[in-house]
Amino acid sequence: MTDMDKDIRIIDIGTEIPDTKVELCGITLDNPVIPASGTFGYGYEFAELYDINCLGTFSFKGTTLEPRFGNDTPRIAECPSGMLNSVGLQNPGVDAVITDELPKLRKVFNKPVMANVSGFSIEEYAEVTRRLSESGSSDMIGWFEINISCPNVHGGGMSFGTDPAMAGEVVKAVRKVTDKPIIIKLSPNVTDIVSIAKSCEAEGADGVSLINTLMGMRFDLKTRKPILANVTGGLSGPAVLPVALRMVYQVANAVEIPVIGMGGISSAEDVLEMMMAGATAVEIGAANLVNPYASRDIIKALPEVMAGYGISTLRE
- Report the catalytic residues: 150
The angle at the Cα of 113, spanning 162 to 43, to the nearest 5 degrees, equals 100
Helix (H) or strand (E) holding 185, with range, is strand 182-185
Q: Phi and psi for 163 in degrees, rounded to 5?
A: -130, 120
Q: Is the peptide bond before 74 cis (omega within 30 degrees of 0)?
A: yes
What lies within 8 Å, CB to CB, of 290 at 6+ separation is 266
The angle at the Cα of 111, spanning 257 to 140, to the nearest 5 degrees, equals 85
The angle at the Cα of 155, spanning 76 to 228, to the nearest 5 degrees, equals 20
SS3 143: strand
Distance CA 165, CA 198 (A): 10
Q: Cα separations (Å) of 222 from 78, 82, 219, 227, 235?
A: 16, 22, 9, 10, 22
Pairing mode, strands 233-236 and 225-226: unpaired
Pairing mode, strands 182-185 and 141-147: parallel
- Is the CB of residue 32 less than 8 Å from the CB of residue 281? yes
Burial 218-243 (b: 16+ CB within 10 A, else e): eeeeeeeebbbebeebbbbbbbbbee
- Is the CB of residue 148 less than 8 Å from the CB of residue 184? yes
